[in-house]
């Protein structure tokens, strides 16, 4: 009999970023008793790092905007690989989700007539991003956090207990989703502070854990981004979708080394910043791809005029979607036209008065001043691509956010796949969190409270297995029983560094077949060694132990990325193959699905060729006719096959 | 790039007790204190407990005291110290230690719950809010707060006075009261909630004697004392000594209790 502490809830939300908190608010408001589990302190989630804004077609700055235009931009940005129904719901519901934040106390920057101001961003036809300077993510997370507190205050007035209906378990990590047959029955977790294990029993689990950036060396992501939710879903039997699509944000800091990868917001370009190479040339004009030729300025003069007169000029190519800009920067550096520290120059100092820069980009000003001794009002920044976001994720039903094939499992935010296709537009992440966070919370609550038969049961064998798995790093020293001499345990920090280097060098921004095969071999080797990752000390707030456990997740998702990237023999969005440099219309309808090879959820597979992941192809549903009708035929020809067009 | 070995003293221990431990550790160009703590974890002390997250001064997780001064470790560059200097890193003093550099900051979450939430105006639906930029500027400044709790740590009202904690919200949450009070559309007043008065009566504004320690340590440069606490105090004083307000209060109170 297991002695692990158990609690009963209706909905458990894993992750307390934008998607998780929005899901929790919705579930609680729909009457479900809801628990949120997060690895950091409440209010510290990675969403705070989002700078630019929330994309929503409110039309406050340009009344020509509406959901159809937003939908079009999103599909173009994702190179038509997007789950179109998600892109449709997202474009339709985003304005409502932003306005709702105001009723919870959010204070966005304003237009002259007192409405929410909206700014330009890459790939968006109109000024569309609701923002607060360049700290929009902080405003979003704080608003949701404060809304949760206000619901807890309501509950306190009624029940005398702040946490009777909505509780945040902060600094706790989930290591397994528990199941009763095919259904979800709860989660197994440990408290980071004490190392104590516990189980939350619940018929519904919403995964909202964000991304996978910590598998790459140069990344804008925080330590939390170890692909936990992706791995938990795989282990619970749910498939992942299109994991080859990883977004490298074009502008991360490149110097000093300790801050390499930290994000420089796209707002810098949205507000007028330009990219130059070492020869002082605005090189982006040389990198406008055919599919976007008609939509971008052909000269610097036209691009500059667009800021004042967008109706009669086209936008500058610095505002192309992120994948295009990142590849261009990469190419310039490779051609020997980079900046001293291996990036290119991003300049606002010659484009706006110092006082305007400090007002519109306060945290960028602060970040460069404090961390790099660079005054961005007087000199250009040095920037280069940084691993930023994964478009791939848990395969979900578009309307309900339900994970495929596992009743009771839901996913929202970065961890869910499909919405952004092969490349996400800036600003579409925060709106995604809100739209699908709400939908996940809504359907998770409905499922949990409407269960006809009995509730799913958590059995002790699963708890014991999860405990044993979590404790393994403490007994990694010495030989296992029945084995010959054991090798010394592996240092989890060293394994992590090797993994990051591997993914960065071999499955990075530009990919080649031989390198990805090499990566898969290296991953197999790391997987074997990770089983011997050992830690010192005890279970109380022990970061070495936490990392040893996170390695399992990073290795799983890294294998998904590498296998899918090897399989897709074309270049599209966040997946660029040097050996297959063009976009192939036949690939547009193909989704790559990753499943765990061993369906019992064991992780014994250490065979490098076979690995832990099975990859299959799936043909997507045709885009609905009325949505296709929003595009010109000439444009569709670039994306769709003859046969699709004919239909 | 030049690197050198720095001398660090890091507090290690738990609620039972602990002390400073000495380390010699490599430092490279451009690094911050948090980089050095991470290098210690990776090479010498894998179980050294530290909280951190964004490493860019945006989340407010890696608060500690460096040579006795409350700071974010991720925003403290090694270049501000001489190479010979011993750098001492200790946990936030105002909160109970959990382990090593990690403290129990639960006090702050308790205080956050004691501040009544934003009250939406009844007559305005979503999308109907109209506010002028100049009217939201003041509250926006306070919403830059990343909740690093350095101001809570340094405030002398609670720093060495555990006994004041129950009655005092601390600069961060008094600023939250000010933020809501200055929100152009907060309808607390219509529900009978006087935020200025609660600052004084329930959140311990009176303990604050405007020494500005909180403003000095704020990594976001928020003028906590000048822009939040002093205006709140002035308003509280106005109301307390204004005979008309005083009379009104009396009558209202009598009415509601009767």
What is the rounded CA–CA span in Å between residue A213 and residue A215?
5
Residue A603's pLDDT is what? Answer: 56
Position B255 pLDDT exceeds 60: no
Residue A646's pLDDT is what? Answer: 81
Going along A85-161, which residue ranges are E strands? Answer: 118-119, 129-130
- In chain A, the largest separation of any two C-alpha atoms, in whole Å, equals 77
**What is the pLDDT averaged over residues A322-350?**
94
From the list B100, B105, B117, the residue facing A149 with the nearest CB is B117
**Tokens coding B175:** 């600023």
* ipTM for the whole complex: 0.92
B50/A543 CB distance under 8 A: yes
pLDDT band at B243 (very low <50, low <70, confident <90, very high): low
What is the rounded CA–CA span in Å between residue A412 and residue A402?
9
Nearest Cα neighbor of A45 from A554, A415, A470 is: A415
Residue A360's pLDDT is what? Answer: 87
**Catalytic amino acids of A?**
249, 269
For residues A229, A232, A238, A239, the Cα torsion angle rounded to the nearest 10 degrees is: 60
Question: pLDDT tens across B24-51, in order?
Answer: 999 998 899 999 999 999 999 989 999 9
Count the Cβ atoms, other than its own, within 10 Å of residue A647: 10
**What is the pLDDT averaged over residues B55-74?**
95
Half-sphere exposure of A538 (CA within 13 A, CB side): 7
**What is the pLDDT averaged over residues A450-472?**
93
Q: Any idea how long chain A is?
A: 647
B183/A109 CB distance under 8 A: no
Residue A600's pLDDT is what? Answer: 65
Percent of chain B with pLDDT over 90: 85
Q: How many helices and strands (H and E) does chain A possess? A: 18, 20
What is the rounded CA–CA span in Å between residue A435 and residue A446?
17
DSSP conformational letter for A307? T
Residue B242's pLDDT is what? Answer: 58
Position B88 pLDDT exceeds 80: yes
Residue B66's pLDDT is what? Answer: 98
What is the rounded CA–CA span in Å between residue A37 and residue A200?
10
Question: pLDDT tens across A498-514, in order?
Answer: 999 999 999 999 999 99
**What is the pLDDT averaged over residues A81-99?**
98
Half-sphere exposure of B257 (CA within 13 A, CB side): 6
DSSP conformational letter for B95? S
Question: pLDDT tens across B158-169, in order?
Answer: 998 999 999 999
**What is the pLDDT averaged over residues B61-78?**
96
Position B253 pLDDT exceeds 80: no
Residue B85's pLDDT is what? Answer: 96
Min distance A40 CA to chain B CA atoms (Å):
8
Residue B258's pLDDT is what? Answer: 33
**What is the pLDDT averaged over residues A489-503?**
95
Nearest Cα neighbor of B33 from B114, B110, B112, B87 is: B87
Question: pLDDT tens across B208-217, in order?
Answer: 999 999 999 9
Count the Cβ atoms, other than its own, within 10 Å of residue A475: 12
Counted across chains A and B, CB pairs separated by less than 8 A come out at: 174
DSSP conformational letter for B225? I
Nearest Cα neighbor of A417 from A435, A391, A446 is: A391
**What is the pLDDT averaged over residues A605-622?**
84
Q: Strand, coil or helix: what is A182?
A: coil
**Tokens coding A432:** 């995604």
Residue A363's pLDDT is what? Answer: 85
- Residues of chain B in contact with residue A259, where contact means CB-CB under 8 angstroms, are 30, 32, 55-56
Question: pLDDT tens across A145-188, in order?
Answer: 999 999 999 999 999 999 999 999 999 999 999 999 999 999 99
**What is the pLDDT averaged over residues A284-293?**
93
- Residues of chain A in contact with residue B130, where contact means CB-CB under 8 angstroms, are 113-115
Nearest Cα neighbor of A131 from A54, A59, A67 is: A54
Residue A586's pLDDT is what? Answer: 96
A599 CB-near residues (< 8 Å, 6+ apart): A237
For residues B187, B192, B196, B200, the Cα torsion angle rounded to the nearest 10 degrees is: -150
- Residues of chain B in contact with residue A48, where contact means CB-CB under 8 angstroms, are 54, 58-59, 146
- Residues of chain A in contact with residue B15, where contact means CB-CB under 8 angstroms, are none
**How wide is the angle at C-alpha A16 spanned by C-alphas A596 and B53, nearest 5°?**
90
Q: At what angle do helices A543-567 and A492-506 cross, to 10 degrees?
A: 20
Q: Are A203 and A447 in contact (CB under 8 A)?
A: yes
Residue A469's pLDDT is what? Answer: 93
B113/A135 CB distance under 8 A: no
B59/A49 CB distance under 8 A: yes
Q: Which residues 466-495 on chain A approach chain B with CB closer than 8 angstroms?
A: 491-494
> Scanning every residue of chain B, which has its alpha carbon at the shortest distance from the alpha carbon of A369?
B75
């Amino acid at each position: 009999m297991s002695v692990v502490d158990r609690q009963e809830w209706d909905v458990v939300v894993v992750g307390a970023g934008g998607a998780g908190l929005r899901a929790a608010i919705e579930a609680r408001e729909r009457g479900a008793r809801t628990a949120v589990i997060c690895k950091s302190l409440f209010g510290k989630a990675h969403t705070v790092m989002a700078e630019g804004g929330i994309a929503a077609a409110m039309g406050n700055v340009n009344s020509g905007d509406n959901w159809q235009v937003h939908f079009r931009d999103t599909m173009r940005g994702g190179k038509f690989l997007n789950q179109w129904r998600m892109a449709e719901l997202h474009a339709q519901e985003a304005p409502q989700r932003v306005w709702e934040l105001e009723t919870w106390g959010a204070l966005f920057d304003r237009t002259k007539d007192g409405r929410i101001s909206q700014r330009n961003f890459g790939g968006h036809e109109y000024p569309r991003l609701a923002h607060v300077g360049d700290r929009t993510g902080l405003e979003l997370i704080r608003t949701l956090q404060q809304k949760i507190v206000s619901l807890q205050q309501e509950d306190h007035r009624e029940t005398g207990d702040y946490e009777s209906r909505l509780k945040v378990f902060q600094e706790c990590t989930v290591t397994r989703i528990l199941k009763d047959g095919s259904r979800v029955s709860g989660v197994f977790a440990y408290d980071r502070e004490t190392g104590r294990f516990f189980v939350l029993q619940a018929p519904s689990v919403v995964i909202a854990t964000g991304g996978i950036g910590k598998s790459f060396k140069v990344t804008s992501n925080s330590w939390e981004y170890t692909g936990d939710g992706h791995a938990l879903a795989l282990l619970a039997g749910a498939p992942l979708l299109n994991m080859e699509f990883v977004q490298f944000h074009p502008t991360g800091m490149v110097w000093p080394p300790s801050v390499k990868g930290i994000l420089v917001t796209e707002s810098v370009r949205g507000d007028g910043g330009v990219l130059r190479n070492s020869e002082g040339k605005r090189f982006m004009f040389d990198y406008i791809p055919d599919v976007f030729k008609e939509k971008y300025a052909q000269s610097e003069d036209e691009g500059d005029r667009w800021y004042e007169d967008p109706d009669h000029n086209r936008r500058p190519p610095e505002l192309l979607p992120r994948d295009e800009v990142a590849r261009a920067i990469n190419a310039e550096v490779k051609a020997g036209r980079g900046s001293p520290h291996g990036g290119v120059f991003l300049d606002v100092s010659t484009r706006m008065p110092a006082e305007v820069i400090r007002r519109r980009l306060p945290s960028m000003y602060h970040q460069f001043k404090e961390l790099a001794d660079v005054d961005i009002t007087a000199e250009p920044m040095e920037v280069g691509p940084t691993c930023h976001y994964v478009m791939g994720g848990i395969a979900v039903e578009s309307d309900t956010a339900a994970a495929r094939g596992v009743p009771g499992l839901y996913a929202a935010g970065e961890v869910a796949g499909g919405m952004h296709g092969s490349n996400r537009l800036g600003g579409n992440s925060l709106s995604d969190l809100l739209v699908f966070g709400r939908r996940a919370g809504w359907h998770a609550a409905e499922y949990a409270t409407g269960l006809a038969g009995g509730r799913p049961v958590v059995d002790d064998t699963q708890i014991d297995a999860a405990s044993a798995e979590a404790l393994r790093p403490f007994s990694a020293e010495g030989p296992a029983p029945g084995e010959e001499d054991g090798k010394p345990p592996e240092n989890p920090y060293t394994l992590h560094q090797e993994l990051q280097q591997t993914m960065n060098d071999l499955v990075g921004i530009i990919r080649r077949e031989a390198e990805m095969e090499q990566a898969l071999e290296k991953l197999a080797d790391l997987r074997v060694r990770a089983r011997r990752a050992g830690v010192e000390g005890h279970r109380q707030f022990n970061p070495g132990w936490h990392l040893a456990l996170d390695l399992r997740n990073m290795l799983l998702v890294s294998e998904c990325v590498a296998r899918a990237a090897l399989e897709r023999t074309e270049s599209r969005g966040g997946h660029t193959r040097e050996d297959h440099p063009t976009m192939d219309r036949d690939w547009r309808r193909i989704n790559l699905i990753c499943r765990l090879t061993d369906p019992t959820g064991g992780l014994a597979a250490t065979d490098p060729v076979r690995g832990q992941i099975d990859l299959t192809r799936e043909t997507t549903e045709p885009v609905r006719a009325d949505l296709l009708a929003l595009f010109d035929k000439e444009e569709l020809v670039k994306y769709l096959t003859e046969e699709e067009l004919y239909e | 790039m030049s690197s050198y070995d720095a001398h660090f003293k890091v507090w290690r221990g738990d609620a039972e007790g602990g002390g400073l431990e000495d380390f010699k550790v490599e430092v490279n160009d451009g690094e911050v204190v948090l980089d050095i703590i991470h290098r210690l974890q990776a090479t010498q002390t894998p179980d050294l407990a530290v909280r951190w997250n964004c490493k860019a001064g945006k989340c407010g997780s890696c608060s500690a005291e460096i040579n006795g001064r409350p700071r974010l470790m991720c925003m403290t560059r090694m270049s501000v110290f001489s190479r010979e200097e011993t750098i001492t890193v200790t946990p936030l003093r105002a909160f109970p230690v959990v382990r090593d550099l990690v403290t129990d900051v639960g006090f702050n979450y308790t205080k956050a719950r004691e501040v009544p939430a934003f009250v939406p105006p009844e007559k305005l639906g979503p999308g109907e809010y109209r506010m002028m930029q100049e009217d939201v500027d003041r509250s926006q400044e306070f919403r830059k707060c990343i909740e690093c709790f350095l101001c809570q740590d340094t405030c002398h009202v609670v720093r060495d006075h555990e006994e004041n904690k129950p009655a005092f919200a601390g600069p961060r949450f008094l600023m939250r009261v000010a933020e809501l009070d200055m929100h152009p559309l907060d309808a607390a007043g219509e529900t009978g909630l006087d935020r200025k008065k609660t600052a004084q009566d329930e959140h311990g504004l009176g303990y604050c004697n405007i020494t500005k320690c909180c403003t000095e340590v704020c990594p976001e440069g928020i003028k906590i004392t000048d822009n939040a606490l002093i205006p709140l105090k002035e308003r509280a004083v106005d109301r307390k000594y204004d005979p008309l307000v005083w009379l009104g209060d009396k009558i209202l109170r009598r009415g509601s209790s009767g």
